[in-house]
Amino acid sequence: MPGLTIALLGPVELRHAGTEVPLGAAMQRGLLALLALDVGRTVPLDHLSAGLWGEHPPARARGLLQTYVSRLRAVLRPLGSDIVRHGPGYLLDLTADRVDLTGFRSLLARGRGADAPADLRAALGLWRGAPLEAVPPTALVERIRAGLTEEWVGARESLLAAELRAGRHREALAELTELAGEYPLRDEPLRLLLVGLHRAGRQAEALAAYDAGRLLREAELGLDPTPDLVDLHARILRNDPVLVCPSTASAPARDVPRQLPYDLADFTGRATQLDRLCALGGSGASSVVISAVDGMPGVGKTATVVRAAHALAPRFPDGQVFLDLHGFTPGRSPVDPATALTTLLAAFGVPEDAVPRDLDERAAAWRQELAGRRVLVVLDNAVDAAQVRPLIPGAPGALVLITSRRSLLGLDGAVPVSLDVLPDGEARALFAGVVGDRARSAPHATGEVVALCGHLPLAIRLAAARLSARPSWTMAELARRLRDQHGRLGELAADDRSMTATFQLSYGHLTPAEQRMFRLLGLHPGADIDGYAAGALAGVGHRAADDALERLVDAHLAHQVTPGRYRLHDLLREYARTVAHRVDPAADRHAAVTRLLEHYAHVVDRVDDHVRGRPVRPGAPGTPALASYADALAWYEAERHTLATAVAHAARHGWPAHAVRLANGLRSCFDVRGHTEAWISAQRHALAAHADLDDRQGLGDTLNSLATAYWHVGRYPDALDHYRHALDIRRALGDPRRTGGTLNNLGLVLRELGSYPEAVAHFEQALELHRAHGHPDVATPLLNLGTVYGTWGRYPEALDHFERSLAACREVGDRLTEAGLLNNIGKVHAHRHRHAEALATLHEALDLHRALGHRLGESNSLTHIADVYGHLGRHADAVGYLHRALDLVRATGNRTKEGTVLNALGRACLAAGRPAEAADGHRRALELGAAIRHRETQARAHDGLGDALADEDPAAARAHWEQARAGYTALGFPEADTVATRLAAHA
């Protein structure tokens, strides 16, 4: 994006190669400005809405915002930039140095740090007028504009102060007079003007300017001049030589503490947080600026604040103080506020015997001491807001940076900055910065080590220290040691520091109830948990559990993933589990996990009722309501990874019946949502759990379910083996209903393998069993028989079976089977050239599949609709529908259906005049069909490749047609005759 810049310091402009680019409406200009102010960072939708419309946005604010974003994208994308939807908002994809505000701030920081007037003048030279000019005014925009103007005034003050220190007082007088006239109630312009006049030998004018300023303050504000101005007035009266000599004019008259700890040479990352902290240190703030930096133990709060403090130090020439409040220090009690104030006052030369005894008086003395000074105060390791509240200065000019493991929610006016673990790249860089070439030469092991450290800075440093102290260890050896979950915390220790001791301090500050919840979370098998499950684990109501979880979040011992869902960092989870095993009896731990698994099993049963369309059994106390099908699917999607882990945990650790119940209860969700690999994994764990159970019927159910999952991914031999094993069990138990179901399933696999007569025999046996024993599910074998007849081209018979099946499933309320039947009926109508009926039926099926959340069924509907559009000559529409179908079917993992869609896409592309794309689709289908040994997919892929290559490579086309004819003949498909005719025509 060479030459692309955004100007905010004046009229908002987008320029490319020096030429202004039109931005359109004022609202689009305002949107660009709001995004550019936080360039490279996600700007929440609520912030954008407040900036564009204020407190009363229009009803369609979100839609209008999307329109403005789209229009700006159309401007930016040709220039190499973009606006990206990211999480809860939008992000302007542009480097910060392309925005003039960033350049201004960089020059300003450099000029102040080096006392360089040239840089300060260059910074001011970037201003072209009032900031954000022509952006529609809202309360937020006006606040931003006022803040930017404050930075501009502060920059002018810094420049003129630097000119005075350089002895250029005469040259600066005109600007000094102008600035003091523009801002007559600001102290700094008046102070600088008085110094400049006095140094220029114009003492009388300086005294007159002071008197005018004093009178104005009395009249406008009812206030006397500040102590600094009074002191300066007195020094002018006595012609103080220090004030006259530029080389000594800035020498401090009082003690100036410089107490910041050393900055880590290998400090890594945190650029966004450092930028935010450094932005707080601008001059001219009208109040004390406070930032509270919080985060979990070991996340690097102190290191980050110390790095920021060193960068900010030049802006606070009157002192930088650092005080460890020992909120979480081994063997130390937190420093009480009175003691902390004594220490802070001593830093500025106040003797202990002069410090008042009363806490309030001591706090007042501290505020008086800092009045009129620009001071940076770092309060490290605070235990809570009450500890730091008396330590906050009272007058503008001070910046207070606080670190705490707790969120200091009760500290009014504080700007919160929360630290999370490091991104992977920064975590690797930190480890390599300590270890050196051993890390760089083994990037894979380094990545594993930092992942096992949970990307937590302290853990990474401790692991790096262990490796550095052991030259004989390789990176792989360190990774092996950390891989052992039960010994990982022991490896993360060096000298007097360890992760265990760090976590212990935070755990010790919890109440007994919070400690118990924290320990039990270590027993939870999943990655995250909601309040209902946490309540079951602890044996308390979900509201009490929510409260405990929120308090753990405040203590940074848990993280809120989304509203209502919580997670422990991996190392914290290990610590919690370790403490639970040390503190809680085995029987209590077993009971807690049993309650949790019972909770999940009960809710899964109710979700299964919703998905299968059965009457939903009543909910138990302490479980989510799940009032609708949509609620049930949403709960499943939120919990599915946890549920899969719970099945494995139950199977491996002594809850076999729960493993089987959960796995079988989840089958319908796995099927509807296309999570086939999770389905296979859960049923394999359930199958292993049956070794500890005496439940032949349940074993048959599990085998049948696992076989169905294998069928969905094209593992047909495995599917046949498991179905036949299930069939043997069900026949031995004399269970006609389940025997019929397994016969039907075996027929489906045989159909996929092209064994159509054998498949029909199985379907007919299943139908006969269902009818003989009054089984209500006659719909399924009727449907499957209809499918075979349709494949053979016997459409009247297919339609008859489908319609009888549809009536049966509507009678029992089986909406899922109904949706599948509508697909098949629509497909038959299409084959009989009844296109209007086909489209109406297929769209009905599509709507029902979408309402049920059945992605595979939705994909089938889209595929059949595309086929009808192809017959109608709407080939571009057909291709579009098939691309959507392909995305859906791939998400389900159903490789058989993927082959079907790929072949359909190939045919549609050829009809649309895109033979190369057609050949590509058929080749992918051929490879997939060969991999899963699906003969129909292979035959149709050969047929399509012959058509796609007919003009380009006739010989290759004939070879593919020959293989297609052989495949169709073996399968008994009527397409064999069609291909034979084509071969004869191309002989």
pLDDT digits (tens, 9 = 90+) for 566-587: 999 989 999 999 999 999 999 9
Give CA–CA dist 29/76, Å, rounded: 12
Greater confidence, 543 or 498? 543
- CB burial of residue 952 (10 Å; 0-12, 13-18, 19+): exposed
Helix (H, G, I), strand (E, B) or coil at 839: helix
Q: How many CB atoms lie within 10 A of CB 155?
A: 25
Greater confidence, 661 or 41? 661
Residue 242: the pLDDT is 62
pLDDT at 253 over 60: no
**What sign has the CA pseudo-torsion 620, 623, 626, 632?**
negative
Helix (H, G, I), strand (E, B) or coil at 320: strand
Residue 536: the pLDDT is 97
In which band, very low, low, confident or very high, does the pLDDT at 876 lie, cut at 50, 70 and 90? very high
pLDDT at 931 over 50: yes
Give CA–CA dist 427/429, Å, rounded: 5
Please check whether the domain covering 271-419 is classified as CATH 2.40.420.20. no
pLDDT mean over 359-377: 89
Give CA–CA dist 319/317, Å, rounded: 6
**Can you say how many angstroms the Cα of residue 950 is from the centroid of all Cα atoms in its chain?**
50
Could you give the percent of the chain with pLDDT greater than 70? 97
Mean residue pLDDT across the chain: 89
Residue 404: the pLDDT is 94
Q: Specify which of 192-201, 621-630, 720-729 reaches the highest per-range mean pLDDT.
A: 720-729
DSSP bridge partners of 377: 321, 400
Residue range 105-152, pLDDT digits in tens? 888 877 776 667 888 899 999 999 999 988 888 888 888 888 888 889
Residue range 378-406, pLDDT digits in tens? 999 999 999 999 999 987 888 999 999 99
pLDDT at 251 over 50: no
pLDDT at 915 over 60: yes
Q: Could you give the C-alpha distances from 541 to 532, 537, 590, 607, 673, in angstroms and in order?
A: 8, 10, 19, 21, 31
Determine phi and psi for 359, rounding to 5 degrees: -60, -45
Token pair of 190 as six digits: 């008046």
pTM: 0.61
Residue range 662-707, pLDDT digits in tens? 999 999 999 888 888 999 999 999 999 999 999 999 999 999 999 9
Could you give the percent of the chain with pLDDT greater than 90? 48
Give CA–CA dist 157/180, Å, rounded: 10
**Amino acid identity for residue 775 in this structure:** H
**Pick from 658, 664, 686: nearest CA to 597:** 658
**Four-CA torsion 398, 404, 409, 411, nearest 10 degrees:** -30
Q: In the chain, where are the structural domains located?
A: 1-166, 271-419, 424-495, 585-694
Give CA–CA dist 921/908, Å, rounded: 10
The answer to whether 786 and 749 are in contact (CB under 8 A) is no
In which band, very low, low, confident or very high, does the pLDDT at 55 lie, cut at 50, 70 and 90? confident
Give CA–CA dist 85/666, Å, rounded: 33
pLDDT at 501 over 60: yes
CATH number for region 1-166: 1.10.10.10
Residue 304: the pLDDT is 94
pLDDT at 245 over 70: no
The answer to whether 938 and 964 are in contact (CB under 8 A) is no
pLDDT at 880 over 90: yes
| Residues 641, 645, 646: CA angle, nearest 5 degrees | 115
